[in-house]
Structure 1
Amino acid sequence: MGKIGLAVTLAAMTSLIPGCYPESPPPCPAIAMAPVVSLTIPASYVDSVKSVRMKACQDGTCTEDVLELFPGSVAIDQGCSPDGVCSATSSPDGTLHGSLFLPTLTESPIDATVSGSAADGTALPVRTLTFTPKGDYPYGEHCGRFITANLVLDAQGLRQG
């Protein structure tokens, strides 16, 4: 075999070596999920709401508080440069978001009650919902299960988001 044949054979064999070893999973992000029930108020209902109070009971433990409401936003893709640097910016979307912190959050059902005051000072209708938080592996099973409890409050009532 000539030098060229040997070089081609070595190159072909070298390309097969990585296939012989199992790939290690990508690293997990160094974040933890907060034990919260989050509430979204769509833009179509924001003008009707002045304040919101939430009570959530799970596994025999209840937590109740007035929610601090923050403006929501969406990510706007600004594209990528020729050298592969990508960016995005956020833009207000008219929604409001609040969170009720719980001592722990499991996949057990939650009994949620939402009340509050309307923009004109009258009471909002009291809304109740029993729902089950959702578990998922957004970063792969090797990174652990993330549990989320998301609700939406609008003119039709309270529903799981």
Structure 2
Amino acid sequence: MTRLRTAWAAAPLALLMACGAGADDGAARACTMIASSAGIAVVVEPPLAAGAVAVRARVCWDGECVDAESPLTPGQTAVDEGCDGDDPDSVCSAVMTSDGTMQGFVEAPALPAEEVEVTAVVTRANGSEAHRAATRVTAEPTYPNGKHCDPGGNQARVTLP
């Protein structure tokens, strides 16, 4: 009877070990339900960034246009602080610091993976227009789970000087 109990207790462990055995040998990786929004990332560079609080955009393709607005938040960049050694297990660090830009994301749910026209209007806190620019960019699919999974929303980036 003891051997039977031991076999039943060991069976789930053996199954678990068998499932994990091929994890690093090129087996298919799981894709999660994570997604990415379709739209246009907007970066407002200094000196225009000073006083900029929002961006309104009109995104057009194939006779269809989407109007959307996004608040702007301070942009950041990573500054490498180095590592405490050269070993693969060494501890490395970085800190985020302001880069002087303001950034936002204007959603365009049906954005195709093709060239689109973007007209962006940067506004100040009082609602007045600080800058207007029109440009063409090519939206591309994003892969929030990696290239081995289905793509997420199509995105493009516009930088305003």
TM over 0.5: yes
Give per-residue Cα distances to partners, 1:3-29, cap 9 Å, x unaligned.
Answer: xxxxxxxxxxxxxxxxxxxx5179588
Which of 77, 87, 90 pairs up with 1:84?
90
- Higher RCO structure (Cα 8 Å, ≥6 apart): 2
Gaps of 5+ in 1: 1-22, 155-161
Which of 62, 70, 74 pairs up with 1:71?
74
Change (3 A) 1:148 1:139: same
Contact 2:137 2:157 in 1 (8 A): no
Percent identity between the two aligned chains: 28
* Partner-residue secondary structure (3-state), 1:63: strand
In structure 1, what is the equivalent of residue 110 of structure 2? 104
In structure 2, what is the equivalent of residue 24 of structure 1? 26
- How far apart in 1 are the matches of 2:42 and 2:28? 32
* Partner-residue secondary structure (3-state), 2:47: helix
Aligned residue type for 1:87: S
1:145-160 paired onto structure 2 within 5 Å = 147-154=154-161
Change (3 A) 1:120 1:92: same
Pairing 1:130–2:112 present: no
The RMSD of aligned alpha carbons is 3.4
Change (3 A) 1:81 1:27: farther
Give per-residue Cα distances to partners, 1:22-63, cap 9 Å, x unaligned.
Answer: x51795885533212011011232136454311112355422
Aligned residue type for 1:115: V
Change (3 A) 1:76 1:145: same
Change (3 A) 1:117 1:140: closer
Pairing 1:95–2:111 present: no
Alpha-carbon offset, residue 131 of structure 1: 2.3
Contact 1:41 1:97 in 2 (8 A): yes
- How far apart in 2 are the matches of 1:111 and 1:67? 17
TM-score for both structures, normalised by structure 1: 0.62
Between stretches 114-123 and 72-81, larger displacement belongs to 114-123
Superposed structure 1 runs of 4+ greater than 6 Å apart: 136-140
Contact 1:59 1:108 in 2 (8 A): no
- How far apart in 2 are the matches of 1:79 and 1:29? 33
